[in-house]
Amino acid sequence: MDMLSGSLWDKILKFALPVALTVVLEQMFNAVDIAVLGNYSAVQTVSVAAVGTNISIVGFLVMLGFGISMGSNVVIAQSIGRKDLENVKRAVHTSALFAVFGGVLLSLVGFALSGLVLGMMSLPQEVYELAVSYLRTYLLGVPIVFVYLLSASIFRSIGQTKLPLLALVVANVVNLVLDLVFVVVLHWDVMGVALATVLANLTSALILVRLLMQRNDALKLSLHNLQLDKECLKEILHIGVPTGIQNAVFSVANVVIQGAINSLGTIVIAASSAAFPIELFAYSVFSSFSQACTTFVGQNYGARQLDRCKKILKLCLLENAIATALAVLLVLTTGKAILRFINDTPEVVEIGYQRLVIVFSAYAFSLTYDTISGYLRGFGFSFLPSLLTIIGVCGVRLYWVFFVFPYVRTFENIMLVYPVSLGITAALVIGALWWIRPTKRCA
């Protein structure tokens, strides 16, 4: 995709929509796992709660890897804008090798701490044992997830967003088939869906790696050229680490919220777990426009087309608002039917839909700060938006759980933390944009 000239409206849309569908499919792993367990497990509600309580932890791992991958995306996009193909090659091979090493390290640390982390989440005993089994099986595939995320970021840096999507389509089919085999036929229950997810992720990672190895340009991946280029890795980590830490701490705050939800009982846990993958459908829409903003700005900043960068921000905000509104409307219209498909317990459906309504009320704030953060990241300003997000989202949520929730221990009260924290964060990031003024500073 030529991001440096021509119309932007249609190109941003063509970039963002496949990314949105990719994020949806990434979340489909959990949704399918929960649906299969909710319909075929011998202990349906307990199994669903065990997988659901791990969503925040799995999100921590995935979002940490995704944040690092954004560093690769920006470095490669800026290098393409400068027409520095040698740096593109170094970034591709550095990213691939770092994905393997970083994934293995995180997997080992996670396996050692899994029991401790889940033990701190106030789980009922019957849920705790299954939750540990699921998490430890999933952790075996973390290096595979990292390889997929870094490979996908390489393709997106040139506007190629369809291939990561197609790889995930194949992976989701594999996941569904294996879920049914492992749960319905072999009765492996929670451990079966975790193993199915690992093998499905392996499928998508192998597809993208193979496609990179078959290319004939600067993005070609060659095993004998794998090396960690110090300067290139420094650039990637400069942008990726703050983003990764932001995403990781974001997930830590969600783990704390999940702990508060867990204290309200198994039915509430199951309801929240069933609603979470659905609300991520709308999240995937506005996050995709943030990625589009980062990549388009990265290339145009590399080519020093600063006026075009400002236009990109305005269009991303506008298109994001329209697309997110349509996604939210669709989910609210069909939400109860989807919840009944996942778990047909009446109390689970009502409480799950209540979560959807409250969380969606805050998405106007989310798309604003997320798109602006993506814009700043495209210029290489990653630390400040990440810091403000940690303060606004994570800080407020932790304060709410420890100092507000104990006085009114209801599901409605814990859910209100979403609009409050996201509204504060949007105000902080808008202030950062006004203070940095990246086009003037970079000029």
- DSSP structure class, residue 437: -
**How many CB atoms sit inside 10 A of residue 344's CB?**
12
Tell me the pLDDT tens digit for each residue of 296-338: 999 999 989 999 999 999 999 999 999 889 988 988 898 889 8
Q: Is the pLDDT of residue 122 over 80?
A: no
Closest C-alpha to 417, from 392, 396, 386: 396
Tell me the pLDDT tens digit for each residue of 185-207: 888 888 999 999 999 999 999 99
Closest C-alpha to 173, from 29, 41, 31, 35: 29
Least confident of 24-28, 308-312, 336-340, 430-434: 24-28
User: SS3 of 411, please?
Assistant: helix
Give the separation between CA 13 and CA 25, rounded to whole angstroms: 18
Give the ranges where 41-141 is alpha helix by DSSP (H). Answer: 44-52, 55-82, 85-119, 125-139
- The share of the chain scoring above pLDDT 70, in percent, equals 100
Q: What is the pLDDT of residue 342?
A: 77
Q: How confident is the model at residue 59 (pLDDT cuts 50, 70, 90)?
A: confident
Residues sharing a CB contact under 8 Å with residue 162, sequence separation 6 or more, in sequence order:
18
Q: How confident is the model at residue 139 (pLDDT cuts 50, 70, 90)?
A: very high
The average pLDDT across 387-415 equals 90
Give the separation between CA 198 and CA 107, rounded to whole angstroms: 13
Q: What is the pLDDT of residue 284?
A: 81
Single pTM value for the model: 0.82
User: SS3 of 188, please?
Assistant: coil
Length of the chain: 443
Tell me the pLDDT tens digit for each residue of 140-175: 999 999 999 999 999 999 889 999 999 999 999 999
Q: What is the pLDDT of residue 203?
A: 96
Between 344 and 89, where is the model more confident? 89
User: Which tokens hold the place of 4?
Assistant: 């440096």
Burial bucket for residue 441 (CB in 10 Å: 0-12, 13-18, 19+): exposed
Q: How confident is the model at residue 420 (pLDDT cuts 50, 70, 90)?
A: very high
Between 386 and 280, where is the model more confident? 386
Burial bucket for residue 199 (CB in 10 Å: 0-12, 13-18, 19+): middle
Q: What is the pLDDT of residue 338?
A: 87
Closest C-alpha to 246, from 78, 126, 70: 70
Burial letters 255-283, b for 16+ CB under 10 A, else e: bbbbbbbbebebebbbbbbbbbbbbbbbb
Least confident of 183-187, 315-319, 338-342, 371-375: 338-342
Q: How confident is the model at residue 11 (pLDDT cuts 50, 70, 90)?
A: very high
411, 262 Cβ separation under 8 angstroms: no
Q: What is the pLDDT of residue 245?
A: 80
Q: Is the pLDDT of residue 108 over 80?
A: yes
Tell me the pLDDT tens digit for each residue of 382-393: 889 989 988 998
